[in-house]
């Protein structure tokens, strides 16, 4: 493993370079097709699905929605997995402060064989959080404390490992796997590769793994994800204040995990300002920072299944998206597909269908609704409260480097100490080649070294 990482690190040094040295690629053109009349045609051919009316206790987030839309949203939400720590909404959520612990479970016995390196404890946390609109919600996360004692100065540092969950069902959450064991159906390969948790634990760092999509599995929604990441840190500091009250926390995330990291760093100042002095930096790669860019790079090609899944995931927190699904999309999103992980809902990408196939309006990606969603998820103008290390594959075709470079330029303009590395390769190769540099940068922050600034 060390040999492999050393070789990878050497390759990274050869191919990585500051952003200024890279030429700007040509803009990505919008799809050169239109489908006039498609929404009406689909609804004429396909009847609406049987959506049950709302029960006496509608799901959280239903208030203020028209009854038909509230019922549709309820039908598209993830099913319970049979574990109350993931399923149950406490009645008194509003009485708790964000980050306040609601439940704790020792999952060392089930988690230790999956972590692979010696650990002292793995603890599943449930805590109060906040949804995309400011209403009370909850989150879950797992804290892994290594067997290696911490001998450095101050409290034991913590790596916040924001994994690319990329899922619609609760059983796909990393904490569910750690609590219930590995499953070929729902456990994600990227929960274990790259081995961030293992390397951090061997270093003596604790690892915090947030289930950042929230209870509604709002895949790709950055505000929900950011809230949960920050509230998970609050929960750890509350649970073990003697050990982690003075600890430094450093975040990392790639692809779907970068969505959560992007949301968290921009929300610190307004949502959790007391954490600004404790979070020492964040590394994010393969960064989906601008969904308008992705609407042009991931639609109507092999990535369209993932793209549609992300749009649907955001719609769980922003039902105005669900309101513009046609009958076909309503059938799909209320079917068992609503509980799948990316390995399943990505498969329709082989058909390379445009998202128009599921909308009840023409050209949905250029609609006023789309413009609103692009704006709110871009989180433009918000300043990271911590130093950043941003990297992206230069040959990326689905998550183009232009979005990551723009994020870097914006944060530099706002005065954030930042580093950008352009890495050779597309999404998968860039993840491997960019990883050693990102982890090395995080390790330096947790050791107390000042963050470099290449702006």
Of residues 43 and 317, more confidently modeled: 317
Q: How do 136-146 and 206-210 pair as beta strands?
A: antiparallel
Using 50, 70 and 90 to split pLDDT, how confident is the model at 35? low
Of residues 443 and 12, more confidently modeled: 443
Using 50, 70 and 90 to split pLDDT, how confident is the model at 262? very high
Instruction: Taking residues 17-30, report their average pLDDT.
Output: 39
pLDDT for 31 equals 45
Closest CA to 260 of 160, 171, 178: 160
pLDDT for 36 equals 63
Q: Alpha helices of 46-139 — where are they, by DSSP H?
A: 67-76, 84-87, 108-115
Residue carrying structure tokens 């450093």: 250
Are residues 221 and 378 in contact, defined by beta-carbon separation less than 8 angstroms?
Answer: no
- Radius of gyration for the alpha carbons in the chain, expressed in angstroms and rounded: 21
| DSSP state, residue 132 | T
Does the pLDDT at position 30 exceed 70?
Answer: no
For 115-163, how does the pLDDT look when each residue is reduced to its tens digit (9 = 90+)? 999 999 999 999 999 999 999 999 999 999 999 889 888 899 999 999 9
pLDDT for 43 equals 85
In CATH, which superfamily holds the domain spanning 67-292+373-447? Answer: Alpha/Beta hydrolase fold, catalytic domain (3.40.50.1820)
Closest CA to 99 of 258, 273, 246, 272: 272
Instruction: Taking residues 57-70, report their average pLDDT.
Output: 92
Using 50, 70 and 90 to split pLDDT, how confident is the model at 89? very high
For 74-84, how does the pLDDT look when each residue is reduced to its tens digit (9 = 90+)? 999 999 999 99
Complete DSSP assignment for 267-320: HHHHH-GGGTTTEEEEEEES----HHHHHHHSTTSTTHHHHHHHHHHHHHH-TT
- Which of 56-65, 87-96, 214-223 is predicted with the least confidence, judged by mean pLDDT? 56-65
Does the pLDDT at position 24 exceed 50?
Answer: no
Q: Which residues pair with 126 in a beta bridge?
A: 103, 140
pLDDT for 7 equals 28
Does the pLDDT at position 41 exceed 90?
Answer: no
pTM: 0.91
Using 50, 70 and 90 to split pLDDT, how confident is the model at 343? confident
**SS3 label, residue 143:** strand
Using 50, 70 and 90 to split pLDDT, how confident is the model at 5? very low
pLDDT for 371 equals 97
Does the pLDDT at position 13 exceed 50?
Answer: no
């Amino acid at each position: 493993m060390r040999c492999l990482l050393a070789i990878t690190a050497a390759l990274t040094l050869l191919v990585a370079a500051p952003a200024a040295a890279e030429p700007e690629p040509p803009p990505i053109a919008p799809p050169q097709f239109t489908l006039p009349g498609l929404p009406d045609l689909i609804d004429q051919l396909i009847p609406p699905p049987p959506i049950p009316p709302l029960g006496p206790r509608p799901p959280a987030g239903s208030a203020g929605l028209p009854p038909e839309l509230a019922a549709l949203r309820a039908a598209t939400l993830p099913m319970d997995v049979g574990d109350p720590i993931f399923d149950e909404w406490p009645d008194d959520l509003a009485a708790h402060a964000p980050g306040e612990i609601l439940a704790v479970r020792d999952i060392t016995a089930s988690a230790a064989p999956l972590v692979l390196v010696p650990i002292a404890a793995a603890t599943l946390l449930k805590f109060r959080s906040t949804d995309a609109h400011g209403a009370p919600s909850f989150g879950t996360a797992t804290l892994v404390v290594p067997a290696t004692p911490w001998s450095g100065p101050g409290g034991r540092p913590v790596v916040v490992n924001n994994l690319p969950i990329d899922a619609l069902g609760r059983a796909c959450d990393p904490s569910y796997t750690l609590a219930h064991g590995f499953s070929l159906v729902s456990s994600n390969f990227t929960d274990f590769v790259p081995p961030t948790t293992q390397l951090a634990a061997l270093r003596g760092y604790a690892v915090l793994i947030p289930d950042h999509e929230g209870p509604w599995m709002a895949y790709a929604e950055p505000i929900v994800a950011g809230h949960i990441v920050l509230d998970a840190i609050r929960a750890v500091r509350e649970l073990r204040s003697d050990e982690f009250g003075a600890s430094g926390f450093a975040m990392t995330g790639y692809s779907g995990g970068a969505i959560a990291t992007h949301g968290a760093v921009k929300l610190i100042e307004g949502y959790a300002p007391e954490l600004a002095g404790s979070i020492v930096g964040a590394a994010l790669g393969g960064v989906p920072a601008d969904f308008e860019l992705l609407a042009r790079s991931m639609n109507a090609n092999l990535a369209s299944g993932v793209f549609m899944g992300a749009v649907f995931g955001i719609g769980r927190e922003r039902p105005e998206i669900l309101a513009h699904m046609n009958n076909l999309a309503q059938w799909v999103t209320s079917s068992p597909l609503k509980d799948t992980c990316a390995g399943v809902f990505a498969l329709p990408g082989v058909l390379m269908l445009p998202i128009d196939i599921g909308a009840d309006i023409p050209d949905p990606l250029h609609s006023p609704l789309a413009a609103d969603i692009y704006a709110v998820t871009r989180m433009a103008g918000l300043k990271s409260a911590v130093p950043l290390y941003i990297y992206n594959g230069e040959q990326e075709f689905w998550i183009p480097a232009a979005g990551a470079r723009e994020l870097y330029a914006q944060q530099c303009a706002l005065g954030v100490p930042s580093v950008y590395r352009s890495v050779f390769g597309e999404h998968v190769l860039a993840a491997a080649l960019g990883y050693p540099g990102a982890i090395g940068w995080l390790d330096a922050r947790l050791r107390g070294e000042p963050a470099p600034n290449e702006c």
